[in-house]
Amino acid sequence: MNIGFKTHYFKELAELEAGNFWFRVRNKLIIWALHKYSPELKSFLEIGCGTGFVISAISKQFPEANLSGSEYLEEGLIYAQQRLPSTKFTQMDARNIPCESELDAIGAFDVLEHIEEDEVVLQQIYKALKPGGAIFITVPQHRWLWSAVDEYACHVRRYSSKELHQKVCGAGFEILRSTSFVSTLLPAMYVSRLLQRDKMDDMAELRINPILNKIFEWFLYLELYLIRLGISIPVGGSRLIVARKPMIKQAEI
């Protein structure tokens, strides 16, 4: 059993997320996906909400929705509550979600890779969603990108699309959209990890030169544009999956 993250990273994450190209564009991608696949969102739970950076963006786009966040580590909730004082945040183990058929949507953004029992989490999410409810997932992708950064981030795995699709479908979901992102930066990402032979502070990737940060952000906005057009990108450092819990079929009369 493993759920890993270094608690002292929350403070630095809270300071760096808003300016970092990856977090900024990932938020844009998540918001787009929510508008497209859950436009009438009324209730939403973010699992592993960390410092609340994602859910704070969602709250601005869906001000009438009942939003809640959960985090396995209590330290992250301090920063999340500061960002959204009126939102309900709970310390929770995603392997045991205490609700059933209650939520319109659940998000797990770069969370599953930290948990050994990811299939249990997917089953719990399925249970917690209403029939027709949607799950929104982002994960790191491609095992050949594994490096010291993953070890310091306490990742259990990097996913292949096949593995993630099988696990999501195995939990009972129907996949609506699956695409890679951070694709244009994949060559630079691969070389960077190839050169990392010793363990390093994974926060180093967030402390990036401002000019490079802006250039990288432009590249990812191009990817976001393509994804919005309906193009699913086959390879990339991360993957987005949107899936739906099927509606219960009425019994034949």
pLDDT of residue 198: 58
Residue 141 has pLDDT above 90, yes or no: yes
Q: Give me the pLDDT at residue 190, please.
A: 79
Domain that holds residue 69: 9-244
pLDDT tens profile 203-224: 666 678 899 999 999 999 999 9
129 vs 105: CA distance, rounded Å:
7
| pLDDT above 50: residue 252 | no
Establish if 158 belongs to a structural domain: yes
Residues 144-149, mean pLDDT to the nearest whole number: 85
Do the domain assignments include residue 252?
Answer: no
Q: Is position 53 within any domain? A: yes
Mean pLDDT, rounded, of the chain: 90
Q: Which H helix or E strand runs over 80?
A: helix 74-83
- What pLDDT is stored for residue 208 in this prediction? 82
Q: Is there a domain that residue 250 lies in?
A: no
pLDDT of residue 4: 53
Q: Is residue 219 within 8 Å of 184, Cβ to Cβ?
A: yes
Any residues with CB less than 8 A from the CB of 23 and at least 6 apart, and which? 16, 17, 53
- Give me the CATH number covering residue 163: 3.40.50.150
Q: Is residue 251 part of a domain?
A: no
The answer to the question of residue 4 being in a domain is: no
pLDDT at 58: 98
> Smallest Cα–Cα separation from 223: which of 232, 214, 211?
232
Residue 249 in domain: no
Q: Which residue has the higher pLDDT, 72 or 37?
A: 37
Q: Residues 57-114: pLDDT tens digits?
A: 999 999 999 999 999 988 889 999 999 999 999 999 999 999 999 999 999 999 999 9
- Number of structural domains (the chain) is 1
pLDDT digits (tens, 9 = 90+) for 164-196: 999 999 999 999 999 999 999 998 887 777 766
Whole-angstrom distance, CA of residue 176 vs CA of residue 162: 15
Whether 2 is covered by a domain: the verdict is no
Cα distance between residue 41 and residue 104, in whole Å: 6
